[in-house]
A and B are shown apart, each in its own frame.
Chain A
Amino acid sequence: MSVRVYVPRDSAALSVGAEGVARAIASEASARGLDITLVRNGSRGMFWLEPLVEVDTPQGRVAYGPVSREAVAGLFDAGPFDAGLAAGEAHPSQHKAHPLCLGLTEEIPYLKQQERLTFARCGIVDPLALDDYIAHGGYRGLQQALSMEPQAIVDAVQASGLRGRGGAGFPTGIKWNTVLYAQADQKYICCNADEGDSGTYADRMIMEGDPFVLIEGMTIAAIAVGATQGYVYSRSEYPHAFRVMQRAIAIAYQRGYLGENVAGSGKRFDLEVRLGAGAYICGEETSMLESLEGRRGQIRPKPPLPALEGLFGKPTVVNNLITLASVPIILDKGAEYYRDFGMGKSRGTLTIQLAGNIRRGGLVEKAFGLTLRDAIYGFGGGTASGRPLRAVQVGGPLGAYFPEAFLDTPLDYEAFAARKGMLGHGGVVVFDDTVDLAKQARFAMEFCAIESCGKCTPCRVGSTRGVEVIDRIIANQNRTQNLRLLDDLCELLTDGSLCALGGLIPLPVMSAIRNFPEDFDKPAPLSPGMLQMIDVLKSNRLELERVIHGTDTRN
């Protein structure tokens, strides 16, 4: 009997050597004459354990990690790849014998304490095996949708309470309803997979680990609103995800889940994946549409809403990848099932991504309402450096910097807004006590200057002026006046910018000043010229002392 062995091909796993581990396992198995089937799955999202190798046993999948190429031979000696041992009585102790063994994967607390709805299959299935997808509940949502009227599908999404997971949190059902009622000869579904926020990687994980769930979600959206063409707009920084999506789309066409007769329904839906080119602003929906049309990614003023005049001027659903990938389970298990997770107006689950200076970085899918502290300490285990945590930035480069005292904020759209922060796409970047918030505030403005599309003056000019003002504050030049000036500039950016980039960049800047005022009240750092002069003076003094006392004090 062949033993199934799983080694992720997720690009984060590859970044710590999963490819070498997979090759070593294959060659060691053939050298020992063992019959194994190597499956290249997505990641379970426990990145500190990558490369995480799993072995199928009658009791369930057993995990080993982090496995290095050098450790592979020892793993074989312990016996998990031996079919006889894996199936036999000796197995539990055999597995436990190896120091890298983590026991049954599903029992690892980090995973066991999660509520995986959108990520139900990620890391479990072979991403490109459609039968595997279907065997794990895939395409049940589409089957359900095909038996419903379009309005009923939209109503189900609305009743589920699903809100846009890209950051704005707009109710998805309302958006779909607008497109459903728009009259046009052509409508589009666009998936925003331009995941540019630092600290986020959920979209990438789905594209690499469970691409069919996205294809299914987009197909359901298309059938609901009457669209026949879809685009996934991803990033050039995600070449692996791009290739997996392309292959998954090709397979879905071959098997009749895309094209002119979706799942035998007589309905048409075509899908293509496109790449951005390293422009953060293209994560803004109207910039993304411009980019898809082949232009500079400059934002469009709203109105008109993309739901009415979107891609090529046609009614378009633009949703974040996680939003669309959450649709299949809503249709499959019902709106109530999904809505029963979460708190207040934030229903369902949030895909929290732990990043930065964190001991156990990874993906945590939980109902809304978990506190930031539970996410960072309960799941994440605190800082990677072991030093005290000082700041947390939630929601990407446009999110606020929170101090330790804010850690009991529940992860919920409204609770974050109340503390002048935002959840964004769920990225949580942890900093230890070596962070300098004045430097982070300066970076926020610098980033805005680099990534501004240039369409509106507050963002285009204001971001550069912001860098200059913060430089003067750091250099202690008229600090009080310049802080007031920065406050004024931020107010202008908030009120006068056309989109969220200029509109939200004041969040990290002002939160840094508000929550960490001590970092803006330090003596000015010495300039390189000043440091040089001090060196010269020091050596002059030593020279002088030597002459006066006739001794060399340098030793």
Chain B
Amino acid sequence: MQAWDADRAQARIRQLEHLPGALLPILHAIQEEFGYIHPDATPLVASALNLSRAEVHGVISFYHDFRHEAPGKHILRICRAESCQAMGCDSLIEYVERKAGVKLGETTADGSLTIEQVFCLGNCALSPAVVLDGEPYGRVSPNMADFLIDNARRAQ
């Protein structure tokens, strides 16, 4: 992921602005590029789609996926839905929060890790499920979470 760059964002907007209902595809593209939606993206998107900034802001803030600030280098998303609850995701989350020293939705002080909640990854036969940097993992024990997090941090 690269740092915010208005020209680069503008280029991604241009690629998609012709689509019917282009706003979500554009926001996904911006987040894919920078890891979050920089506040300066709002007026760019608004003017490309002939919307008000308020409308664009309303959409960004409606969807849980869109981040308002840069995430850590690695992103661990832990499922909190019923199937994973039945397999102990609450204690897994408690464990990860203690290990990382941050709560769900926060980034560690060194910027190495963001942990987020997610409601269902569609891996419910192998609960508890997590996604680390886009890679799915199933039947995740605290030990395995340890391994995944340490491995990712070392690899950076």
Please list the residues of chain A having a beta carbon within 8 angstroms of any beta carbon in chain B: 11-12, 14-16, 47-48, 50, 195-201, 203-204, 235-240, 274-280, 291-298, 312, 353-358, 361-362, 384, 393, 396-397, 427, 429-432, 435, 440, 443, 447, 450-451, 453
B125 and A358 within 8 A (CB): yes
B65 and A236 within 8 A (CB): yes
A435 and B86 within 8 A (CB): yes
B86 and A357 within 8 A (CB): yes
A198 and B136 within 8 A (CB): no
Tell me the complex Cα distance, A279–B64, Å. Answer: 6
B22-30, B94-102, B106-114 - interface stretch? B22-30
| B residues in contact with A431, CB < 8 Å | 86
Residue of A48, A199, A430 most packed against chain B (CB within 10 A): A199
Interface string of B37-61 (1 = CB under 8 A from A): 0000000000001000001001100
18 other contacts beyond A198-B84, A294-B22, with CB at 8 A cut-off? A11-B136, A12-B122, A12-B138, A14-B136, A47-B125, A195-B120, A198-B83, A276-B63, A277-B24, A279-B65, A296-B59, A296-B62, A298-B62, A355-B83, A356-B124, A357-B87, A396-B82, A427-B83
> Top 7 closest A-B pairs, CB basis?
A361-B125, A294-B23, A198-B81, A355-B124, A277-B63, A356-B86, A47-B125
A429 and B126 within 8 A (CB): no
| B residues in contact with A294, CB < 8 Å | 21-24, 49, 59
Query: Contact partner of A198 among B27, B58, B66, B119, CB < 8 A?
Result: B119
| B residues in contact with A48, CB < 8 Å | 125
A279 and B62 within 8 A (CB): yes
If A296-B62, A297-B63 touch, does A443 touch B85 (CB 8 Å cutoff)?
yes
Residue of B59, B79, B119 most packed against chain A (CB within 10 A): B119
Tell me the complex Cα distance, A198–B121, Å. Answer: 8
If A236-B28, A294-B21 touch, does A201 touch B124 (CB 8 Å cutoff)?
yes
A312 and B127 within 8 A (CB): no
| B residues in contact with A355, CB < 8 Å | 83, 86, 124-125, 127
Q: Does B141 contact A (CB under 8 A)?
A: no
| A residues in contact with B20, CB < 8 Å | 293, 312
Q: Does B118 contact A (CB under 8 A)?
A: yes
Tell me the complex Cα distance, A90–B22, Å. Answer: 60
B86 and A353 within 8 A (CB): no
| B residues in contact with A276, CB < 8 Å | 24, 63
Query: Contact partner of A47 among B59, B126, B136, CB < 8 A?
Result: B126
| B residues in contact with A274, CB < 8 Å | 21, 24-25
Tell me the complex Cα distance, A280–B28, Å. Answer: 17
| A residues in contact with B129, CB < 8 Å | 15
Tell me the complex Cα distance, A290–B61, Å. Answer: 15
Tell me the complex Cα distance, A533–B110, Å. Answer: 36
| A residues in contact with B123, CB < 8 Å | 11-12, 15, 201
Query: Contact partner of A280 among B62, B119, B136, CB < 8 A?
Result: B119
Write the nearest CB–CB distance from A48 to chain B, whole angstroms.
Answer: 7
Residue of B21, B27, B87, B125 most packed against chain A (CB within 10 A): B125
**Which chain B residue has the least Cβ–Cβ distance from A297?**
B62
A361 and B126 within 8 A (CB): yes
**Which chain A residue has the least Cβ–Cβ distance from B56?**
A294
Residue of A197, A198, A239 most packed against chain B (CB within 10 A): A198
A200 and B122 within 8 A (CB): yes
Tell me the complex Cα distance, A279–B28, Å. Answer: 14
Tell me the complex Cα distance, A226–B134, Å. Answer: 39
Tell me the complex Cα distance, A199–B120, Å. Answer: 8
**Which chain B residue has the least Cβ–Cβ distance from A353?**
B124
Write the nearest CB–CB distance from A111 to chain B, whole angstroms.
Answer: 15
Write the nearest CB–CB distance from A299 to chain B, whole angstroms.
Answer: 12
**Which chain A residue has the least Cβ–Cβ distance from B124?**
A355
**Which chain A residue has the least Cβ–Cβ distance from B26?**
A294
Q: Does B137 contact A (CB under 8 A)?
A: yes
| B residues in contact with A443, CB < 8 Å | 82, 85
A196 and B120 within 8 A (CB): yes
Write the nearest CB–CB distance from B40 to chain A, whole angstroms.
Answer: 20
B125 and A354 within 8 A (CB): yes
| A residues in contact with B85, CB < 8 Å | 440, 443
Q: Does B135 contact A (CB under 8 A)?
A: yes
Tell me the complex Cα distance, A153–B82, Å. Answer: 39
Write the nearest CB–CB distance from A431 to chain B, whole angstroms.
Answer: 5
B63 and A429 within 8 A (CB): no
Q: Does B139 contact A (CB under 8 A)?
A: yes
Tell me the complex Cα distance, A432–B87, Å. Answer: 9
Tell me the complex Cα distance, A238–B134, Å. Answer: 10
A237 and B122 within 8 A (CB): yes
Write the nearest CB–CB distance from A207 to chain B, whole angstroms.
Answer: 10
Write the nearest CB–CB distance from B134 to chain A, whole angstroms.
Answer: 6
**Which chain A residue has the least Cβ–Cβ distance from B118?**
A237
Tell me the complex Cα distance, A295–B140, Å. Answer: 36
Write the nearest CB–CB distance from A263 to chain B, whole angstroms.
Answer: 25
A429 and B24 within 8 A (CB): no
Query: Contact partner of A353 among B24, B125, B136, CB < 8 A?
Result: B125
If A12-B138, A239-B134, A356-B86 touch, does A200 touch B124 (CB 8 Å cutoff)?
yes
Write the nearest CB–CB distance from B138 to chain A, whole angstroms.
Answer: 4
A16 and B139 within 8 A (CB): yes
Write the nearest CB–CB distance from B18 to chain A, whole angstroms.
Answer: 12
A278 and B83 within 8 A (CB): no
A397 and B23 within 8 A (CB): no
Tell me the complex Cα distance, A123–B125, Å. Answer: 16
B82 and A356 within 8 A (CB): yes
| B residues in contact with A293, CB < 8 Å | 20-21
28 interchain pairs (CB within 8 A)? A14-B135, A15-B123, A15-B126, A15-B136, A47-B126, A195-B122, A198-B81, A198-B84, A200-B122, A200-B124, A236-B28, A237-B122, A237-B131, A240-B136, A277-B24, A277-B27, A277-B63, A278-B63, A278-B64, A278-B119, A298-B62, A354-B125, A355-B83, A356-B127, A362-B125, A384-B87, A397-B82, A453-B62
Write the nearest CB–CB distance from A269 to chain B, whole angstroms.
Answer: 16
Tell me the complex Cα distance, A16–B122, Å. Answer: 14
| A residues in contact with B121, CB < 8 Å | 237
